[in-house]
């Protein structure tokens, strides 16, 4: 069988997917690479992988794109790991550092700033370690596992998918499994089965993989109650609305 190159997000929220793939026979037919989201996107856009768990904001940038899975990284409210952190209220923020690991969350923040808050703070490109320099009227968007350590450090925490849900009434999709070419149906079926099995055994997934993610104090709650994995009709509506708003930025 052809060996496909697959890029997956290296955050805690992907542990059930990684576990499912590693425990399946499919693992022998894929080259599984773990990256942060913007790198997953770059690899799929550049064609260095065939399939990736990518930030949905990059889908319009692909020449060819095929969402091949019934599963995603989503949230139906607060998620704890996609937040704007500040020591002052958002109305007093003058600049925001935008996480270099993110594309979808950066776009989401821009939409919320424009449509929900109606504010125009200065956007600043992030450098490594930027999350340690949040102070005064200088805020930052931080995504992924680094956010766990910040959730008790700052006076103001704006959880972006919760605000999106308040504004639109819809859940939010951060990342979807997208191929840049048509893949065989039997591969797609086996891939989805592997993901489903991983999601059905989150406790085992954490037992095997959880030691790699020490920053989360309650990973069971995070994976079971904060992350929403099914790419259902409501999430597809949310994703469609988001991509429409992205095109208007």
pLDDT along the chain (249 residues), means of 10: 88 96 95 94 96 96 96 98 97 95 94 98 90 92 93 95 98 98 96 97 90 84 97 98 95
Do 187 and 126 share a structural domain? no
Do 179 and 136 share a structural domain? no
Final residue in a domain of this structure, among 121, 144, 168: 168
Do 156 and 186 share a structural domain? no
Do 65 and 114 share a structural domain? no
Final residue in a domain of this structure, among 135, 168, 201: 168
Do 184 and 72 share a structural domain? yes
As beta bridge partners, residue 82 has 143
Do 157 and 111 share a structural domain? yes
Complete DSSP assignment for 142-175: EEGGGGGGGTTT-SEEEEHHHHHHHHHSS-EEEE
Do 97 and 35 share a structural domain? no
Range of the domain at 231: 4-76+172-247
User: Which pLDDT does position 127 carry in this prediction?
Assistant: 85
Do 185 and 139 share a structural domain? no
pTM of the predicted protein model? 0.94
User: Which pLDDT does position 126 carry in this prediction?
Assistant: 87
Do 86 and 15 share a structural domain? no
Do 111 and 37 share a structural domain? no
Domain with residue 150: its CATH number is 3.40.190.10
* Domain count of the fold of the chain: 2
C-alpha pair distances (Å), 105 with each of 174, 200, 201, 230:
7, 27, 28, 19
Do 91 and 155 share a structural domain? yes
User: Which pLDDT does position 129 carry in this prediction?
Assistant: 82
Do 123 and 98 share a structural domain? yes
Final residue in a domain of this structure, among 151, 168, 185: 168
Tokens 């690899």 correspond to what residue? 43
């Amino acid at each position: 069988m052809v060996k496909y190159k697959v890029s997956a997000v290296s955050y805690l929220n992907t542990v059930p997917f990684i576990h499912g793939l590693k425990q399946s026979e499919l693992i022998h037919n894929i080259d599984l690479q773990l990256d942060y989201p913007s790198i997953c996107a770059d690899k799929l856009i550049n064609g260095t992988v065939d399939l990736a768990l990518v930030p949905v904001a990059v889908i319009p940038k692909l020449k060819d794109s095929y969402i091949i899975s019934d599963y995603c990284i989503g949230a139906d409210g607060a998620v704890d790991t996609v937040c704007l952190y500040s020591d002052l209220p958002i109305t007093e923020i003058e600049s925001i550092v935008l996480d270099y690991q993110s594309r979808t969350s950066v776009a989401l923040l821009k939409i919320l700033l424009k449509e929900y808050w109606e504010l125009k703070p200065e956007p600043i490109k992030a450098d490594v370690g930027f999350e340690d320099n949040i102070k005064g009227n200088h805020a930052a968007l931080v995504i992924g596992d680094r956010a766990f350590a910040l959730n008790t450090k700052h006076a103001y925490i704006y959880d972006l998918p919760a605000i999106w849900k308040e504004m639109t009434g819809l859940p939010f999709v951060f990342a979807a499994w997208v191929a840049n070419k048509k893949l065989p149906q039997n591969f797609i079926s086996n891939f989805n089965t592997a993901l489903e099995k991983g999601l059905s055994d989150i406790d085992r997934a954490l037992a095997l993989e959880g030691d790699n993610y020490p920053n989360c104090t309650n990973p069971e709650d995070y994976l079971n109650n904060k992350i929403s994995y099914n790419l259902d009709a409501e999430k597809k509506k949310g994703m469609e609305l988001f991509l429409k708003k992205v095109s208007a930025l």
